């Protein structure tokens, strides 16, 4: 195993009606003037935003609001948020929503505290020296951004989607009420489950440094999400299943399922980022559409892990050769995707890129990772193109 | 499942030679004048204390030292530490050692920041309003105090052992180098493994609110410690096994293996605290000596959990009635204790209390928990006495 750091300072307040504690939490972490950042109209329609502002009003906490964060959140809105925070002397950010609102808020937080263009961080040009403190009321279980050190932003010009990670942006608190996720469309719920599992699978499929306890936690998490995602297909109002998935979403990406390994593979995410940048597809669905092709391309180079995954997570018949078991696991995962109505290729995802477009994505992806990347198998541009082609 | 809070702000720096980073970490968390608190002579003998002070000297960080923290750490030394900190204007505590040094440092931290007698907190008379910031260099994998909110102190007068918990005392950082645990006597290593498992077992054997994902994490952790504790019996210098156990020790008690339940049972700990207070036995060995008797007394009232434990943790034959499977699991746990040279009764623990002494312990234990306590089964003084008698 490798040396590691683990740092998850976010105070999690989990359960029914926990959003009522938002003012107390903001005060605990010293917030005086708040930017409430949210996405589309759902937090308005459901009345959540009003409940939040009523709570802040009652507590005498001053705030401004900024809506409009979209999936694959845009840099333009980030700039707008930075200006608003500076103008209004905002000292604390409250993201109300899913990963889009949280990631957008994180980028705003970097932009307020650091001089210069915030895109520099996402463009790997320099490192942030801080971030405005941030709290979260989570409404979608998916990205894990409520505890993670990462955020992903899309620059509209050239549709470039990039992530930036630092401990500075880990939220101070995360309010998680599983009931808030019950109004989600089924498709978004399934996308969330695919995303959650992938965050841990990216850490799991490695060729270096794995710890047994980390594996045990990862496998337990994946089995739990798999089971509860299937429950939610037919019973989307099931509180316990919502709660299992929601808590798994945070644990899948706060770092705990990767302690001791080499940092993980992350190529499925990188390949999907190019799809998400160009086609604005739902992130979780994009991951599902790519994963099978990635897995079949790399599994022979990472056979012990694919075998372990097949047996301990997908719970397939453990007889036969390692390769047979590994392939059985990949097939079982694709079957699972189909059962939760997730795509297993680009066509099912609803896009049909030309080969030139695939080449363009592979090229951008290779540039984005600095030439080549991966732990299960190191992938270069040619390999990326092969996976994109196989996913058609 | 029940609502829960989860808060583990400790920055973990895990791996070989990580103690060399202590000065940087103290600076990161604002420490200017340090009290280095440690236990017996082992951190002196091994040269660890000198390496630490050399590092602080090189970084220009001022410090005073206080050794002498013993297992079941004493209130007298806590008072001494509080006086020393006040006299020397200490603003940051560094515990170097295991749970004794850390718990003692936590109590010192409470005493420096809060007015009045620090024992009041341990005596449930009032609540602390803060704690001096604290960092840890861990040398024994056992108590989990390096990430936990709890500390346990023994008042010499009457040998009263009590715990106090608050988020204020969660360490700012924990340096964990598995190599530092290799000089431990085998008995202490085994005691640590017993303690680690018990922290999660206390959370696991409940009658309320359990989450599937929490169970999966708990079971994975327990299986991992079980396997690696057995490896360490014959191969105490095994780095990977040391690392698995060390990281498990933190996770077993930082809260993650209890999210969503009713808070846990904790009666084995309470019963052992009376042993530890009166006889100064090693905590982990005391837990092992009591657990079997506790388990046989309560299991029928918590059968689904004991069955699950038997199958998923102890991996026993899952055939037969629930009761048979549960008992098979208890027997397997006791077999495991014997394999790592842990006692399964008070005689093996090396003590032979009279029946009057058992009655005295049961009485003190009942007072300590406010009359009755437990989740697997609520225990009153009579039940406590029955368990003590069965453990003879």
In a 10 Å sphere around its CB, with 0-12 CB exposed, 13-18 middle and 19+ buried, how is residue B91 labelled? Answer: middle
3-class state of residue B286 by DSSP: helix
Q: What is the mean pLDDT of residues B126-144?
A: 97
Strand partners, A97: A138
Task: Give the distance from residue A375's alpha carbon to the nearest chain B alpha carbon, in angstroms.
Answer: 21
Give the C-alpha separation, B5 to A150, whole Å.
22
Give the C-alpha separation, A305 to A206, whole Å.
7
* CB atoms A228 and B212 under 8 Å: yes
pLDDT at residue B231 in the model = 98
Give the C-alpha separation, A37 to A136, whole Å.
10
pLDDT at residue A14 in the model = 98
Residues whose CB falls within 8 Å of the CB of residue B224, separated by 6 or more in sequence, listed in order: A212, A213, A216, B244, B248
In a 10 Å sphere around its CB, with 0-12 CB exposed, 13-18 middle and 19+ buried, how is residue B311 labelled? Answer: middle
| Ramachandran bin of A371, using left for φ above 0, alpha for ψ from -120 to 50, beta for the remaining angles | left
| Residue A1, pLDDT above cutoff 90 | no
Strand partners, B163: B152
Contact indicator for A187, A341 with CB cutoff of 8 Å = yes
Give the C-alpha separation, B23 to A234, whole Å.
55
| Residue A161, pLDDT above cutoff 90 | no
Q: Which ranges constitute the DSSP H helices of B149-208?
A: 186-204
Give the C-alpha separation, B242 to A254, whole Å.
24
* List of chain B residues whose C-beta atoms are within 8 Å of the C-beta of residue A213: 220-221, 224, 244, 247-248, 251
Note the pLDDT tens digit of each residue in B234-268.
Answer: 999 999 999 999 999 999 999 999 999 999 999 99
Place of tokens 């599994």: A299
Residues whose CB falls within 8 Å of the CB of residue A170, separated by 6 or more in sequence, listed in order: A7, A8, A9, A10, A147, A148, A149
Q: Which ranges constitute the DSSP H helices of chain B?
A: 22-28, 42-45, 48-59, 75-88, 99-113, 119-122, 186-204, 212-234, 239-251, 267-279, 283-298, 303-312, 322-339, 346-349, 355-368, 381-390
Identify the CA nearest to A152 among candidates A324, A277, A60: A277
- Segment 337-356 of chain B within 8 Å of chain A by CB: none
* CB atoms B217 and A213 under 8 Å: no
Contact indicator for A385, A359 with CB cutoff of 8 Å = yes
Return phi, psi of residue B253, to 5°: -135, 10
Place of tokens 């980030």: A78
* CB atoms A220 and B223 under 8 Å: no
pLDDT at residue A345 in the model = 98
pLDDT at residue B54 in the model = 98
| Residue A176, pLDDT above cutoff 80 | yes
| Residue B41, pLDDT above cutoff 90 | no
Give the C-alpha separation, B268 to B298, whole Å.
11
Give the C-alpha separation, A156 to A160, whole Å.
7
- Answer whether A243 touches B (CB < 8 Å): yes
| Residue B81, pLDDT above cutoff 90 | yes
3-class state of residue B366 by DSSP: helix
- Answer whether B129 touches A (CB < 8 Å): no
Cβ-nearest to A216 among B8, B211, B220 = B220
pLDDT at residue A226 in the model = 98
Contact indicator for A147, A8 with CB cutoff of 8 Å = yes
- What the block records as the tokens of B389 is 């008698």
Residues whose CB falls within 8 Å of the CB of residue A241, separated by 6 or more in sequence, listed in order: A228, A231, A232, A235
Residues in chain B: 392
| DSSP-assigned letter for residue A327 | H
| Residue B280, pLDDT above cutoff 90 | no
pLDDT at residue B210 in the model = 84
3-class state of residue B328 by DSSP: helix
3-state helix, strand, coil in chain B (%, to 5): 55, 15, 30
| Residue A210, pLDDT above cutoff 90 | no
Sign of torsion over alpha carbons B173, B178, B184, B189 = positive
Rg of the Cα atoms in chain B: 20
Give the C-alpha separation, B147 to B163, whole Å.
15
Cβ-nearest to A14 among B4, B12, B16 = B4
Q: What is the mean pLDDT of residues B305-329?
A: 98
Identify the CA nearest to B282 among candidates B97, B75, B101, B99: B99
The residue ranges of DSSP E strands in chain A, in sequence order, are 4-14, 33-38, 62-66, 92-97, 134-138, 150-155, 160-165, 173-176
Q: What confidence tier does B279 reach under pLDDT thresholds 50, 70, 90? A: confident
Note the pLDDT tens digit of each residue in A95-120.
Answer: 999 999 999 999 999 999 999 999 99
3-class state of residue B183 by DSSP: coil
| Residue A220, pLDDT above cutoff 90 | yes
Give the whole-number percent of chain A exceeding pLDDT 70: 100
Cβ-nearest to B248 among A12, A213, A221 = A213
Note the pLDDT tens digit of each residue in B320-350.
Answer: 999 999 999 999 999 999 999 999 999 999 9
* List of chain A residues whose C-beta atoms are within 8 Å of the C-beta of residue B248: 213
Place of tokens 């799809």: A275
Give the C-alpha separation, A182 to A248, whole Å.
16
- What the block records as the tokens of B358 is 């058992």
pLDDT at residue A158 in the model = 84
Q: What is the mean pLDDT of residues A224-236?
A: 98
Contact indicator for B334, B292 with CB cutoff of 8 Å = yes
Give the C-alpha separation, B271 to B283, whole Å.
11
Cβ-nearest to B3 among A6, A14, A219 = A14
Indicate the range of A272-276, A318-322, A346-350, B309-313 predicted with least confidence: A272-276
Give the C-alpha separation, B331 to B200, whole Å.
18
Note the pLDDT tens digit of each residue in B1-38.
Answer: 899 999 999 999 999 999 999 999 999 999 999 999 99
Tell me the ipTM for this assembly.
Answer: 0.96
Cβ-nearest to A240 among B1, B16, B216 = B1
* CB atoms B244 and A7 under 8 Å: no
Of A216, A255, A263, A313, which to mutate for an interface test with B (greatest number of B Cβ within 10 Å)?
A: A216
- Answer whether A18 touches B (CB < 8 Å): yes
Place of tokens 């005086």: A32
Return phi, psi of residue A72, to 5°: 55, 65
Contact indicator for B101, B41 with CB cutoff of 8 Å = no
Q: What is the mean pLDDT of residues A36-42?
A: 91
For chain A, give the mean pLDDT: 96
Beta carbon pairs, A and B, within 8 Å: 109
Q: Which ranges constitute the DSSP H helices of B340-370?
A: 346-349, 355-368
In a 10 Å sphere around its CB, with 0-12 CB exposed, 13-18 middle and 19+ buried, how is residue A284 labelled? Answer: buried
pLDDT at residue A346 in the model = 97
pLDDT at residue B40 in the model = 80
Residues whose CB falls within 8 Å of the CB of residue A152, separated by 6 or more in sequence, listed in order: A72, A73, A99, A103, A161, A162, A163, A273
Q: What confidence tier does A75 reach under pLDDT thresholds 50, 70, 90? A: very high
Cβ-nearest to B224 among A213, A221, A227 = A213
For chain B, give the mean pLDDT: 96
Place of tokens 């955020």: A151
- Answer whether A227 touches B (CB < 8 Å): yes
Identify the CA nearest to A152 among candidates A286, A307, A62, A257: A286
- The angle at the Cα of B57, spanning B55 to B63, to the nearest 5 degrees, equals 105
Contact indicator for A253, A145 with CB cutoff of 8 Å = yes
Exposure class string for B226-255: b at 16+ Cβ within 10 A, else e: bebbeebeeebebeebbbbbbbbbbbbbbb
pLDDT at residue A278 in the model = 82
* CB atoms A211 and B247 under 8 Å: yes
3-class state of residue B356 by DSSP: helix
* List of chain A residues whose C-beta atoms are within 8 Å of the C-beta of residue B238: none
Domains of chain A plus CATH, in order, are 11-180 (3.40.50.1970), 185-390 (1.20.1090.10)
Note the pLDDT tens digit of each residue in B173-221.
Answer: 999 999 999 989 999 999 999 999 999 999 999 998 889 999 999 999 9
* List of chain A residues whose C-beta atoms are within 8 Å of the C-beta of residue B1: 240, 243
Q: What is the mean pLDDT of residues B39-47?
A: 91
Task: Give the distance from residue A8's alpha carbon to the nearest chain B alpha carbon, in angstroms.
Answer: 6
Contact indicator for B210, B1 with CB cutoff of 8 Å = yes
Contact indicator for A140, A97 with CB cutoff of 8 Å = yes
Task: Give the distance from residue A261's alpha carbon to the nearest chain B alpha carbon, in angstroms.
Answer: 12
pLDDT at residue B187 in the model = 97
- The angle at the Cα of B190, spanning A8 to B236, to the nearest 5 degrees, equals 90
Give the whole-number percent of chain A exceeding pLDDT 90: 93
């Amino acid at each position: 195993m490798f040396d590691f750091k683990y740092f998850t300072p976010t105070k999690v307040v989990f359960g029914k009606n926990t959003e009522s504690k938002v003012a107390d939490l903001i005060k605990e972490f010293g917030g005086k003037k708040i930017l409430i950042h949210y996405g589309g109209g759902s937090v308005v329609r459901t009345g959540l935003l009003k409940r939040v502002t009523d709570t802040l009003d009652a507590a005498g906490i001053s705030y401004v609001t900024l809506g409009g964060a979209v999936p694959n959140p845009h840099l333009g809105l980030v700039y707008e948020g930075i200006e608003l925070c500076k103008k209004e002397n905002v000292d604390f950010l409250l993201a109300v929503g899913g990963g889009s609102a949280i990631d957008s808020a994180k980028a705003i937080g970097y932009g307020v505290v650091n001089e210069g263009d915030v895109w520099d961080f996402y463009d790997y040009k320099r490192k942030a020296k801080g971030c405005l403190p941030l709290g979260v009321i989570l409404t979608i279980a998916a990205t894990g951004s409520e505890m993670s050190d990462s955020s992903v932003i899309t620059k509209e010009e050239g549709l470039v989607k990039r992530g930036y990670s630092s401990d500075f942006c880990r939220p101070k608190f995360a309010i998680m009420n599983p009931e808030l996720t019950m109004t989600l469309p089924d498709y978004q719920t399934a996308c969330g489950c695919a995303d959650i599992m992938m965050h841990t699978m990216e850490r799991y499929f490695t060729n270096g440094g794995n710890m047994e306890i980390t594996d045990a936690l990862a496998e337990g998490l994946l089995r739990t999400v798999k089971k509860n995602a299937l429950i939610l297909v037919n019973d989307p109002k099931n509180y316990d299943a919502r709660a299992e998935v929601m808590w798994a979403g945070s644990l899948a990406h706060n770092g705990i399922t990767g302690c001791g390994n080499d940092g993980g593979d992350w190529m499925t995410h990188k390949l999907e980022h190019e799809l998400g940048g160009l086609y604005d597809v739902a992130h979780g669905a994009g991951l599902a559409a790519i994963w099978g092709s990635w897995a079949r391309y790399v599994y022979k180079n990472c056979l012990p892990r694919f075998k372990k995954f097949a047996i301990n997570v997908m719970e397939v018949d453990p007889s036969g050769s390692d390769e047979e078991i590994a392939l059985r696991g990949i097939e079982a995962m694709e079957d699972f995707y189909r059962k939760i109505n997730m795509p297993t290729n680009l066509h099912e995802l609803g896009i049909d890129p030309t080969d030139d477009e695939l080449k363009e994505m592979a090229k951008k992806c290779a540039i984005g990772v600095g030439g080549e990347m991966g732990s299960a198998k190191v992938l270069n541009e040619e390999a990326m193109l092969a996976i994109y082609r196989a996913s058609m």
